[in-house]
């Protein structure tokens, strides 16, 4: 049961990582929902599984999932930072467009 849960999680991570690599952020809600479901499933399995007696395929799958999660985390971080930068640019542009210069640090002189 653990191996099948890990394999499902691995497939979700692979799909999300591929989408992030292609800059396709349209399915993020679905990916988040599916990853949350996997987390709940793995949390429940954790209580029933003796970590000291994991099989070789389970250990190998855990190691693959860990490596894939690292890459996925990196890509999510890149996209998050890019979105923050775009947000800051848009916010600055809106503030600049709405400002009449009254509180600007530069004084404007008209001749």
Tell whether the model's pLDDT for residue 110 goes beyond 90: no
Mean per-residue pLDDT, 81-96:
91
22 phi, psi to nearest 5 deg: -90, 5
Tally of domains in the chain: 1
Tell whether the model's pLDDT for residue 111 goes beyond 80: no
Tell whether the model's pLDDT for residue 106 goes beyond 80: no
Would residue 101 count as lying in a domain?
no
C-beta separation of 43 from 97 below 8 A:
no
Domain residues for the domain of 43 are 2-82
Confidence of residue 108 (pLDDT cuts 50, 70, 90): low
C-beta separation of 45 from 5 below 8 A:
yes
Q: What pLDDT digit, counting tens, does each position of 28-85 carry? A: 999 999 999 999 999 999 888 888 889 999 999 999 999 999 999 999 999 999 999 9
What is residue 102's predicted lDDT score, i.e. its pLDDT?
62
């Amino acid at each position: 049961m653990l191996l099948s849960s890990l394999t499902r999680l691995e497939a979700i991570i692979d799909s999300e990582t591929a989408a992030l690599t292609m800059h396709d952020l349209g399915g993020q809600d679905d990916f988040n929902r599916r990853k949350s479901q996997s987390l709940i499933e793995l949390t429940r399995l954790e209580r029933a599984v003796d970590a000291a007696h994991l099989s070789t395929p389970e250990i190998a799958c855990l190691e693959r999932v860990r490596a894939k999660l690292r890459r996925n985390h990196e890509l999510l971080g890149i996209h998050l930072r890019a979105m923050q930068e775009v947000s800051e640019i848009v916010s600055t542009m809106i503030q600049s467009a709405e400002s009449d210069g009254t509180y600007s640090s530069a004084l404007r002189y008209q001749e």
